[in-house]
């Protein structure tokens, strides 16, 4: 029996497939990736949501988020080797909460189609081979069955989109085998949750014929390789690519080792990932800093403090006036009419403040906002 992810892995690199599913090699590292974690959390939350919908018990958005928070606390425990306080993991939760809230608001009250099955295991028979299919959701609209698969990609290449389409077409074959008599038309929908994108397509008899032929040939090819099952370079051949850098079997594979030993060769994707992760971390810290600032201001206001002391640190509260010009064009003409435009252009901040004090007419062009600033000494 094969799953689609096994068949996909074989197409990506037959050698990696063999390490994982034929030779049962234990990978060098088996860390939970953020992408996997987010995917798992989102799939579980949406499955829960539609189970409620299926039993005519539509939850509120708050109930969905509360279920999500409870579930992620259970998942991200020591038992599963996930540190729930890690800033990257915390950021992943926030991403999921945002995606779930957007999804809820877009599809509420979830009555567009009738839910038939959720994450149901279906079996497709291709000749003597069995392929396991597990669409995230099957719904019914009139005499059409719709198959859904949620994806959590941050970006989408055309090659990846093609794989996703093939996956759903293969699942469509399984749905036809299991539920064929209940519908006249079949439709597929890929929902890219992070990209806010949906790809829908109708399934034709030609599509099903083509996909069935392609995957039957693939299963036969794998079976032939399994029968030969040797470690020669020809059996389960290596297929090198950018993905080798992240392959958990690289230390067992000559192609992977070569890539890992050339330390200068870091793929641009890695830099992009590091950059995005750092950016998200900084954003999280900025939010935390703002929250702490508000708390300090509140404490100071309640107790009428001008200063707050910490461990070898002194925080002083300042009120600062921020001047914002509402209409630069109008103000320019006004100054020009008065013949003082040149003079004003060379004023420094202090002189501008004095100028405003002594020229009340000028104030109508300005918006003066007061902001509170914290000045830190020591620390």
Q: Which is nearer to ligand SF4, 226 or 375 (CB)?
A: 226
Q: Which of 225, 160, 241 is nearest to 21 (CA)?
A: 225
**Taking CB under 6 A as the rule, does residue 218 contact ligand SF4?**
no
To 5 degrees, how large is the angle CA 323–CA 325–CA 331? 130
Q: Tell me, rounded to whole angstroms, the distance of Cα 223 from its chain centroid.
A: 36
Dist. CA 337–CA 210, nearest whole Å: 77
Dist. CA 45–CA 69, nearest whole Å: 10
Q: Which is nearer to ligand SF4, 39 or 256 (CB)?
A: 256
**Taking CB under 6 A as the rule, does residue 6 contact ligand SF4?**
no
Binding mask 35-54 for ligand SF4 (x = CB under 6 A): --------------------
Among 255, 300, 315, 335, binds ligand SF4 (CB under 6 A): 255
By three-state DSSP, how is residue 360 classified? helix
Cβ-closest residue to ligand SF4?
256
Among 171, 192, 249, 362, binds ligand SF4 (CB under 6 A): 249
Dist. CA 270–CA 245, nearest whole Å: 9
Parallel, antiparallel, or unpaired: how do β-strands 144-151 and 185-192 relate?
Answer: parallel
Parallel, antiparallel, or unpaired: how do β-strands 129-133 and 2-3 relate?
Answer: parallel
Among 2, 10, 15, 68, binds ligand SF4 (CB under 6 A): 15
CB 103 within 8 A of CB 193: yes
Interface region with ligand SF4, contact rule CB under 6 A, candidates 133-141, 218-226, 234-242, 355-363:
234-242
**Taking CB under 6 A as the rule, does residue 240 contact ligand SF4?**
yes
Residues touching ligand SF4: how many (CB under 6 A)?
15
**Taking CB under 6 A as the rule, does residue 72 contact ligand SF4?**
no
**Taking CB under 6 A as the rule, does residue 16 contact ligand SF4?**
yes
Among 222, 247, 315, 335, binds ligand SF4 (CB under 6 A): 247
CB 376 within 8 A of CB 313: yes
Dist. CA 322–CA 341, nearest whole Å: 21
Binding mask 135-174 for ligand SF4 (x = CB under 6 A): ----------------------------------------
CB 44 within 8 A of CB 210: no
Interface region with ligand SF4, contact rule CB under 6 A, candidates 49-57, 203-211, 233-241, 300-308:
233-241
Q: Which is nearer to ligand SF4, 248 or 277 (CB)?
A: 248
**Taking CB under 6 A as the rule, does residue 238 contact ligand SF4?**
yes
Q: Which of 90, 110, 99, 100 is nearest to 67 (CA)?
A: 100
CB 12 within 8 A of CB 5: no
Residues in the site for ligand SF4, rule: CB under 6 A?
A: 13, 15-16, 19, 238-240, 243-244, 247, 249-250, 253, 255-256
């Amino acid at each position: 029996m094969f799953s689609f992810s096994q068949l996909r892995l074989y197409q990506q690199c037959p050698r990696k497939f063999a390490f994982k599913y034929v030779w049962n090699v234990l990978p060098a590292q088996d860390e939970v990736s953020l992408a996997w974690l987010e995917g798992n959390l989102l799939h579980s939350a949406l499955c829960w949501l539609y189970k409620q919908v299926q039993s005519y018990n539509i939850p509120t958005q708050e109930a969905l988020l509360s279920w999500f928070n409870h579930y992620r606390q259970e998942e991200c425990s020591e038992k599963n080797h996930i540190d729930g306080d890690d800033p990257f993991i915390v950021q992943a939760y926030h991403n999921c909460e945002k995606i779930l809230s957007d999804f809820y608001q877009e599809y509420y009250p979830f009555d567009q189609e009738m839910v038939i099955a959720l994450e149901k295991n279906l079996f497709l028979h291709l000749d003597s081979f069995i392929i396991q299919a597990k669409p995230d959701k099957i719904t019914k609209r009139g005499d059409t069955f719709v198959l859904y698969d949620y994806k959590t990609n941050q970006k989408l290449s055309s090659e990846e989109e093609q794989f996703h389409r093939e996956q759903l077409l293969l699942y469509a074959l399984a749905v036809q085998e299991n539920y064929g008599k209940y519908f006249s038309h079949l439709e597929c929908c890929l929902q890219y949750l992070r990209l806010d994108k949906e790809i829908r397509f109708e399934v034709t008899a030609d599509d099903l014929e083509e996909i069935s032929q392609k995957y039957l040939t693939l299963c036969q090819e794998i079976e032939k390789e399994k029968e030969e099952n040797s470690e020669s370079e020809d059996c389960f051949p290596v297929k090198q690519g950018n993905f080798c850098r992240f392959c958990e079997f690289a230390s067992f594979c000559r192609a992977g080792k070569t890539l890992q030993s050339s330390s200068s060769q870091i793929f641009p994707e890695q830099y992009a990932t590091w950059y995005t992760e750092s950016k998200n971390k900084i954003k999280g810290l900025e939010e935390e800093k703002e929250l702490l600032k508000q708390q300090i201001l509140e404490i100071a206001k309640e107790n009428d403090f001008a200063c707050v002391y910490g461990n070898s640190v002194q925080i002083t509260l300042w009120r600062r006036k921020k001047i914002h010009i509402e209409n630069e064009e109008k103000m320019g003409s006004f100054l020009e009419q008065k013949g003082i435009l040149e003079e004003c252009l060379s004023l420094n901040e202090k002189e501008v403040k004095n100028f405003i004090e002594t020229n009340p007419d000028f104030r109508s062009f300005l918006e003066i906002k007061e902001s509170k600033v914290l000045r830190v000494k020591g620390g």
